[in-house]
Amino acid sequence: MLKKLIRKNEQTISKNLTERIERAQKEQLPSHIAIIMDGNGRWAKKRALPRVAGHHEGMKIVKKITRFANELGIKTLTLYAFSTENWKRPKLEVEFLMRLPEEFLGAYLPELMELNVRVKMMGNIESLPEHTKRAINKAMEQTAHNDGLILNFALNYGSRDEIVQAVRNIVSDVQSGNISTEVITEKLFDNYLMTKDLSEPDLLIRTSGEVRLSNFMLWQLAYTEFWFTDTLWPDFDEECLLEAIESYQTRNRRYGGLKGEEVN
């Protein structure tokens, strides 16, 4: 009797989720979702596990959310995997984090190919360990011709560093005569950023209850909708992502202006 009740409850939940997905897909979906994946360490601590266990569990969620975003029809998913500040963490934890791309992409690359997902990375790849670079370069090369969801990892990434590098490159191009100061605009500046081939994020999600950007895409997030949740990243699931999208779809994005009825 209990098993039947549980099975019936699961079927009801599944039906409700399916209906919510169908409703969400009828509305305007965010084209580009960016996620600050936070809370792996706290998830592990709550279970008396080492911090690396939380990172490993978090890697499984990356797979789950990538699949779901792809099924929904999201065009770009950017995941903040490792910041330029994360090098300050304990050596063993950093070494473990640098092995995760190799493990994730090594095991998941065939499915990414099957899903038509294209892997990209933004950040300073040259400062990464050789084994990490090999795994990332292999994934980017093998998925380069896929034209489905773009899975963009922000790895060894810091937005202030990105902006400083962009300014340096613009100054260099001005000094070499490639451009003049008169042509420097926001649009031109965009072309010097690591995201020059991507649209700006429509929706930013941060997990674990923290309400800050932590040096993530400071330029690109100027008009992005933010959604924060207390859920720790290893507990984040398809329903959480759907809830964030549903919240996004209720918002009126004005980009500093007014719309229709507000003008009158």
CB 125 within 8 A of CB 140: no
* 3-class secondary structure, 230: coil
pLDDT digits (tens, 9 = 90+) for 32-59: 999 999 999 999 999 999 999 999 999 9
**pLDDT of residue 131 exceeding 50:** yes
Confirm or deny that 178 is annotated as ligand binding.
Answer: no
Confirm or deny that 206 is annotated as ligand binding.
Answer: yes
* DSSP conformation class of 177: T
152 as an active site residue: the answer is no
What is the pLDDT at residue 259?
61
Confirm or deny that 73 is annotated as ligand binding.
Answer: no
Q: Pick the residue with more confidence: 261 or 248?
A: 248
Structure tokens at 228: 């924060």
What is the pLDDT at residue 258?
61
CB 102 within 8 A of CB 131: yes
Q: Which of 9, 70, 86, 173 is catalytic?
A: 86
Residue type, 185: T
Confirm or deny that 227 is annotated as ligand binding.
Answer: no
Structure tokens at 86: 């994360």
- Answer CATH for 29-158+200-251 from 3.40.50.620, 3.40.640.10, 3.40.710.10, 3.40.1180.10: 3.40.1180.10
Residue type, 102: E
Q: State mean pLDDT over 81-100.
A: 96
Confirm or deny that 39 is annotated as ligand binding.
Answer: yes
* DSSP conformation class of 208: T
Confirm or deny that 38 is annotated as ligand binding.
Answer: yes
Confirm or deny that 51 is annotated as ligand binding.
Answer: yes
The pTM of this model reads: 0.91
86 as an active site residue: the answer is yes
Q: What's the CA gap between 208 and 223, in Å, rounded?
A: 23
What is the pLDDT at residue 8?
46
pLDDT digits (tens, 9 = 90+) for 135-156: 999 999 999 999 999 999 999 9
Q: Pick the residue with more confidence: 197 or 262?
A: 197
**pLDDT of residue 11 exceeding 60:** no
Query: Look-up: residue for tokens 């070494």?
Result: 95
Confirm or deny that 55 is annotated as ligand binding.
Answer: yes
Name which of 162, 91, 104, 92 is nearest 131 in CA terms: 104
CB 227 within 8 A of CB 238: no
Q: Which of 9, 16, 38, 146 is catalytic?
A: 38
What is the pLDDT at residue 2?
37
What is the pLDDT at residue 175?
98
